[in-house]
Each structure stands twice: as structure tokens, then as C-alpha cells.
Chain A
Amino acid sequence: MSEPYPDNDWTGADTGEQWDLVVYVTDASPRGLRAIENLRRACEEHLAGRYQIEIVDVLKNPRRAAADQILAAPTVVRRLPAPIRKLVGDLSDSDRLLIGMELRR
């Protein structure tokens, strides 16, 4: 379901904030790779140059996952801008991705 996203609907584009995102995946699972791919595409489209994505493999770093309160994978955590937001899933639902990240009001 691809649809046009009018520029004036984007919040991140106007504020000029730095976005700090973490993606928690399990190893190189197709679902995780898909989530990373979906996230990158959205960020490139709307937050070009103002975002960074950290990828955490929960199998390699379970204590980090525990400390960060990660139960499901893939999970994207928006650490900045505040408040913290969590998105769960492979982000194939782009509407939910944008709303969940507050990329669109």
C-alpha cells in the first residue's frame, strides 16, 4: 500500500532535530532485515542527514535488550527526540510506522 505523503504532513522535516533510533533484531532474521530496510527507507525519505540507526542483535546482546526493555523483535526505539517511542514489527505497515514514529501527525 504505497501512497503519496504530502510534505506538510511531516513533523521531522520542519524541526531540524537529530533522530536517534535503535533497532533490535534477532541475528539476521528476514523479519529483522525487512524492518531495518523499511526504517531506512522512511528515514532517508523524511529525515535525510538528521538520523542515526543503531542495530542491536538481541541474541548477541541479551542484557542490553533486557536493560532496554525489549521483549519483541524487531523493535525500533526512538530515543530522540523525546518522548521515547517503541515500534514493534517488521514495519511493513508504513502507515503505522509513520504514525508510531510521529513522523506524521
Chain B
Amino acid sequence: MDSAVLTSVTDGSIGPDLDKAPTGISGLDQILAGGLPRGRVTLVAGSAGAGKTLLGMNFLVAGARQYDEPGVLMTFEESAAKVALNVRSLGFDIDELVRTGQLVVLAFRVDPSEIVQAGVFDFEPIFAILDDAIKQVGAKRVVLDTIEVIFGAFGNDTIVRSELIRLVRWLDDRDVTVLLTGERGSQGGDGLTRHGIEEYVTDCVIVLDHRVTAEISTRRLRVVKYRGSAHGTNEYPFLISAHGFTVLPITSVALDYAASEERVSTGIPRLDHMLGGGMFRGSTLMVSGAAGTGKTSVGASVVDSACARGERALMVLLEESPDQVVRNMRSLGLDLRPWVEAGLLRIWAARPSAFGLETHLAILAGLIEEEKPSVAVLDGITSLSNGILTTELASSVARQIDLLKSRGITSVITALGQGEDVNARSVSAMVDTWLQLRNIEANGERNRLLFVLKSRGTAHSNQVREFVLTDHGVELVDVYIGAAGVLAGSARVTQQAAERDEQLRIAEELAHRRRELHRSVIEREAHLVATQDQLDAEQTEISRIDLREGHLVADIEADRSKMAARRWADDAPHNGEPR
């Protein structure tokens, strides 16, 4: 009769032959790879207040409204009126569905004090009543809300047990998808339910859990068993909000966000440059750092830049009021008020202690639904757990990031802390870009340094920058890296001045030395000239002496010849040298 529905269901399931009945809870259907096993019995176990009834109601309402599958609710928990009233506050109009013949509500009140058991019995009336109700509306879905209450009420649990097994089998054989709820034992015994009814339900078992850790309530869901079908096996947080039952699977089932190549400016030009041109659209930037490092201003810059481009933005503040942030940011030259007035920016603030993590997540989901922002800032997420990034918070933050990513929202998350602990790392796995702001304290002042710890898909700068808050926005300045390490602020300025002085001194010294050498060279050159002159003079004199000596010898020879001639002397042998 509804082949279109069947086709769509089969398309969404992983098991080739397993037909699914969607619960209408998108996250849950995702985990269940399409929905509950069609025509079979599913058990939803959980402690009181875990959300079993609501899950059942969601299943029925979705069936009636979206899948043309009328339903039957048999409840043993509250009166029919109460059930209707409870879910109307969540957006379901049960009366309307009953009036239009899409739902039958059978409410039973089982009061053990009113019942006396006197002999053997069976639960044939339950079968007859269900059979009639199913036929009445052509029901395809049946919810039995905590049928377990019949245990103990009829004085003979052996009969109750065997009748219950018979009922589950009977339902399994019918062409209806059944959701059975079961109460979790308070002692937390071996079984999933107080009376072990999970033993009769062979196809699909879902466990709901409601934990309060450190005053923060978190609801979790787990698919314990799903015969013949792939399913997510983790614990998935869920929430109950004005929109009903919402399960937010962390992307373990599918990582299928569209990855944009488009770059979005952070509003801080040098940061854009460090990130290789800005953030990728739809990516998540985490800014972590100690108190007062200027995390919020990064978020505000991103928001300001988005609004300036005419995009819608959302700021969720968990530490300060909107007025405070607007004022503080104005002192940095970031005026957010015009954007708020133009309806481009929604600033939402709440005391983190006012809500549990799941409620916070629900609020975020609601805000995103309403505002449809292209950019979102979650400021001070660590405030959600008193400043400590606990495992619960990390998981919640991961879900928030997942929510933002699944909507293609470019987001900035600011977190307190230096990010060394494990939980910060687990969150960091979800973020695309991680900036860390660090205070360095020296010379009686604190300065901020910015590091890009990681940035996916981007050749990002490995440089440390000084993060300066000016009256015209956030600026990044090169830090001084010298022998004394990284210097920022006035230390950087001082160091730079000192360096200039030093250079000047060296230059002067060199000039002085040069002058000295010049002088020396000139002196020596002069000296050299004088020496050469003297050398020349001396050589001249030597030549003159040589000459004179030659003349002298010749004169003596001449004189001797003259004398010999006068004396008529023989030629004397030439060996007699004159002295």
C-alpha cells in the first residue's frame, strides 16, 4: 500500500533485505541505518526518566505523520491524558492524531493493591485489545510502554513471564513494527531490564541512559543489539527538547561534510595570511588560551568580518553578557552593535550552570535553526563544566562542532586552557584549525603570543606572532626571537632598541678603526716615500764613490808611469800591485 515509503526505507538501510521502519528521529535512524526492524519487536530499555516514552511517542507520531503508518500506544505508565499532555509540550498533538484515526491510545493503570490473584489466568485480553486496536486504524506501529509493570501485579510471575513471551512472539508474527519499553533495574544488575525481558526480544535492543556527572546531565543512547543490520555501536548522546527527541551521532557513522575550498577571512589580515588565506568555509577554528589572552576578540573579529560581508552570524556567550562583550569589543574598534541592529548578528548568552550539556546543545541546535548563520562563535565552552574540559564536555563539544559542521557553518570555539590535556586533544581532533594564545610574563608585563598549532588542508605558518589588541582591532606582530628567547611587548621594543644601539656602537667602532688604519697607511706611505728618497740618495752616492774610485786608480797608474819614465825603469812585472 505504501510502496513509496518502503522504497525510501530500503534505500536508507545497509542490510540488503532488512526492511526498516524509520523512527523519524534523524540521528537515531542514522545510527540504526534506517530505522527499527520492520515487522519485528524492538526493546528500548532505560531507567525512569530516561526518555523511553518519548522515544516511543516520537516513533508513533513520525509514523502517523510522515510515513502513513498509523499506530497504537498501549501504556501502563500514566493515564492517556497525561501522556498526551506530556508530549504536547514537545510539539506532538496526540488528540489530533487520535481524532483523525491515525493513533489509538490504550492507557492502563496497574495497581497491585487492587488486584487479587485467585487461580490461573492468561493475558488474552491484551491480545484481543491490541488486535482490535491494530485493525481499527490499520496500525503498522505499536508501542507498549513499560509492559513490565504487570510483573508483580498479578501475583504469579511465572504466568506473567510465559504470557509476555507469548505476546512478543505474537507481535513478531504480525505485520507491525513494535517498540517495547523496559525499566532498567535500580540496582544495575546483570540484565538490561528489571525482569530480563530483553531475553525475549531478539531483533533490536536500544538502551537509554541518563547520567548526571558533576551536576551536568547527559543522556546517552546505545544500540546493544540489532540482528541482521549494521548499526552504530557507540554511546550516542541525545537530548529532549522542544523539537522532541534528538540524537546527535558523532560522525562515527559517516564523515560526509562537504569540504569547501572557499576561504573566509578571520578579520585579522595577518592571521588570514598565517592560515594561507583565511579559514575554509564551514571549518572550525578553536582558540585556546588562559584567561585574558584575547580569545573572545578572535571570535568577535571573525563575526565582524562575516557581518561586513553581509553574512548572518551567531555568538553564543557562556562567560559574559552580550552588553559586556559588545562594550569590550568596541574598545578594540570592533563595533558589533550595528550588526545586531541590522539583524545579521544574534548574540545569545547564558549562565553555563543554568543548563546541562545536552540542553545547551539543544539550545544551540534551536538557535542555528532560527538564525541559520553562516558563522558561529561559541565563546567559553569550558565554562560549561566549571572551566574544566572534562570527558563529558569534550564529547558535548564534539557534538556541537559536529552540529555546526553538518550545517556548513564556519565556526570559532574558544576554550580556556593551554590545551595540553587529553580532553583538549580529543576536541582538537574535531577542529580544523587550532590557535593557541599564550601569555608570557616578563619585566612586569604580560604579553600575548599566538601560535597556529594545526590547520588542516593549509600550509600554515609555523611562526609565533605577538597578538596585540589595539584600538583598531586585533593585530599580529612579528615577535623578536633572539638569544634570550621569544620577546614580546615592551621587552620586544626594548630589545629592538638595544639591538639598534648595539649596531650603532659597532658601526662607530668600525669607523673609528677604519680611520685609524687610514691614518696608519698614510703615515706608512709617507714613511715609505722618505725611505725611498734616502735609498735613492744613498745609491747615487754609491755610484759617485765608484766613479771617484775609478778616477783615483787611473791617476795613480798615470803617476807611476810618469815616474818610471823619468827613471828609465824596466818594465816591471805586473804582479806587483800598488798599495
Contact = CB atoms under 8 A, between A and B. Distances in A.
B129 A89 contact: no
Contact of A86 (B116, B125, B131): B116
Given A69-B109, A88-B154, A58 B128 contact: yes
A63 interface: yes
B108 interface: yes
A59 B128 contact: yes
A75 B115 CA distance: 9
B114 A66 contact: no
Interface string A34-67: 1100100000000000000000001100110110
Contacts of B133: 62, 66
A35 B125 CA distance: 15
B108 A71 contact: yes
A85 B116 contact: yes
B121 interface: yes
Count chain A CB atoms within 10 A of each CB in B110, B115, B121 and give the residue with the most: B121
Contacts of A89: 117-121
A74 interface: yes
A62 B118 contact: no
A91 B132 contact: no
B257 interface: no
A66 B120 CA distance: 21
A26 interface: yes
Given A59-B124, A62-B129, A90 B106 contact: no
Nearest to B128: A62
B125 A88 contact: no
B126 interface: yes
Contact of A73 (B110, B115, B122, B155): B122
A26 B124 CA distance: 7
Nearest to A39: B118
Q: Which of A35, A87, A88 has the most CB of B within 10 A?
A: A88
B170 interface: no
Main secondary structure of the interface of B (DSSP, over half): mixed
Nearest to A94: B118
Interface in B144-159: 150, 154-155
Nearest to A34: B119
Central interface residue in A59, A71, A93, A99, by most chain B CB within 10 Å: A71
B109 A87 contact: no
Contacts of A58: 124-125, 128-129
A73 B106 contact: no
A84 B115 CA distance: 10
Given A84-B114, A86-B114, A71 B125 contact: yes
A86 B115 contact: yes
Contact of A90 (B120, B128, B150): B120
A21 interface: no
By DSSP majority rule, is chain A's interface helix, strand, loop, or mixed?
A: mixed
B125 A62 contact: yes
B132 A88 contact: no
Nearest to B76: A71
A85 B122 CA distance: 18
Contacts of A35: 119
B108 A73 contact: no
Contacts of A90: 118-121
Contacts of A74: 121
Contacts of A86: 114-116
A72 B119 contact: no
Contacts of A97: 118
Interface in B317-373: none
A69 B126 CA distance: 10
Interface in B92-119: 106, 108-110, 114-119
Nearest to B104: A66
Contact of B116 (A34, A69, A100): A100
Contacts of A87: 115-118
A104 interface: no
A22 to B, nearest CB: 13
Given A58-B128, A62-B132, A71-B125, A92 B109 contact: no
Q: Which of B109, B119, B131 has the most CB of A within 10 A?
A: B119
Contacts of B121: 31, 72-75, 88-90
A71 B123 contact: yes
Nearest to A92: B119
A82 to B, nearest CB: 12
Nearest to B136: A63
Contacts of A72: 121-125, 154
Contact of B120 (A59, A71, A92, A99): A92
A65 B129 contact: yes
Contacts of A100: 116, 118
Contact of B125 (A34, A73, A93, A99): A73
Nearest to A95: B118
A64 to B, nearest CB: 10
Given A71-B110, A71-B150, A63 B119 contact: no
A66 B106 contact: yes
Contacts of A91: 118-119
A35 B116 CA distance: 14
A99 B118 CA distance: 10
Contacts of B155: 88
Contacts of B118: 87-94, 96-97, 100
Contacts of B131: 62
Interface of B: 106, 108-110, 114-126, 128-129, 131-133, 150, 154-155
Given A59-B128, A88-B115, A93-B118, 10 more contacts: A34-B119, A62-B129, A65-B125, A66-B129, A73-B122, A75-B125, A84-B114, A87-B116, A89-B119, A100-B118
- Closest 3 A-B residue pairs measured CB to CB? A89-B119, A100-B116, A96-B118
